[in-house]
Amino acid sequence: MNHQTQATAKHRGRLILVPNALDLGHEAVDLRDVLPDGVLRTAAGLSHWAVEDARSTRAFLKRVAAVHPLAMALQSIQIVEMPRRPKGRPTPGAHGTPADQHSNEAWAALLAPALAGHDLGVLSEAGLPGVADPGARLVQAAHDAGVEVLALPGPSSLVLALAASGLQGQQFAFVGYLPQDAEARARRIHELEAQSRKADQTQLLIETPYRNQVVLQALLSHLSPTTRLSISIGLTLPEGRSRTATVAQWRQAPPELSDRTPAVFGLLAR
């Protein structure tokens, strides 16, 4: 890196990944119960944001302001939404594909405030930006542009569910969503169980809340009786809970899962 590049880098802002609470769609919890005070102070001081949803971001900042005053009036804060994935298309990976209509240039353009010297906050609707989240594309763009990336501590439903599961925490994989087609879903469940058994690896997956019960029924129908299945739902909420049992045990008393509350499923073949 030459002296000119070093000087330019010194005048750049950072990309700051700000965690959000996991209470989307539910009665709001006290942010001080789930986010460190340092995170709230940092969020209060940011004037530029790239976010998943502008409306929910404004609601988040109002909650932050109840703890720490914002650096400027909310209406003066620059909030820009990240590109949305077209409905009906697979979620692109962090690196995208040539066919992805959201070009790398579009993501790089979001970094303009950081390149101009402002710290740029990134916020998801829930949890950690960049983890099972489109913010990963922006993080990649920041690294490509030489913008420093800072991840702040906060709740991740995936990590919390894994910790509470008692499953294999040394080797695990997040596999996203199961296919909606019943036959494809069954094949995928068998593939995940085989991989888990072969590698002694916990498989973590999620689903849109209104499909929680469909996924649970599919897992109970297609997994082996001895496979251990963990269900975590409503994490960090007052009614949140985690339970792990064999599939055979779950089949004896299958639970009714909320169609409004996010759940994380984990499986470990035995």
Domain 3-151 fold is Cobalt-precorrin-4 Transmethylase; domain 1 (3.40.1010)
Residue 104: the pLDDT is 78
Q: Is the dihedral of CA 82, 83, 85, 87 positive or negative?
A: positive
User: What stretch(es) of the chain map to CATH 3.40.1010.10?
Assistant: 3-151
CA–CA distance, 250 with 154 (Å, rounded to integer)? 31
Query: In the predicted model, is pLDDT for residue 31 greater than 60?
Result: yes
Q: Hunting for tokens 């009665």 — which residue is that?
A: 27
Q: Using 50, 70 and 90 to split pLDDT, how confident is the model at 268?
A: very high
Looking at the chain, the whole-number percentage of residues with pLDDT higher than 90 is 83
Question: Which ranges of the chain does DSSP label H, i.e. alpha helix?
Answer: 3-10, 37-44, 54-65, 104-109, 112-115, 135-145, 157-165, 182-199, 212-222, 247-252
User: What stretch(es) of the chain map to CATH 3.30.950.10?
Assistant: 157-268
CA–CA distance, 94 with 88 (Å, rounded to integer)? 18
| Neighbouring C-alpha atoms within 13 Å toward the C-beta of 257 | 27
The region of weakest confidence among 105-109, 169-173, 177-181, 254-258 is 105-109
pLDDT tens digits, residue range 154-201? Answer: 999 999 999 999 999 999 999 999 999 999 999 999 999 999 999 999
Query: In the predicted model, is pLDDT for residue 250 greater than 80?
Result: yes
**Of 8 and 21, the one with more pLDDT:** 21
- The mean per-residue pLDDT over the stretch 10-27 comes to 92
The strand pair at 228-233 and 263-268 is best described as antiparallel
What does the mean pLDDT of the chain come to? 90
Residue 120: the pLDDT is 98
Residue 106 contacts residue 134 (beta carbons within 8 Å)? no
The strand pair at 15-18 and 202-207 is best described as unpaired
Q: pTM of the entire structure? A: 0.85
Amino acid at 125: E
- Put the strands of the sheet holding 241-246 in their side by side order: 172-174, 202-207, 263-268, 228-233, 241-246
- Of 3.40.190.10, 3.50.50.60, 1.20.1050.10, 3.30.950.10, which CATH number belongs to 157-268? 3.30.950.10
Residue 169 contacts residue 163 (beta carbons within 8 Å)? yes
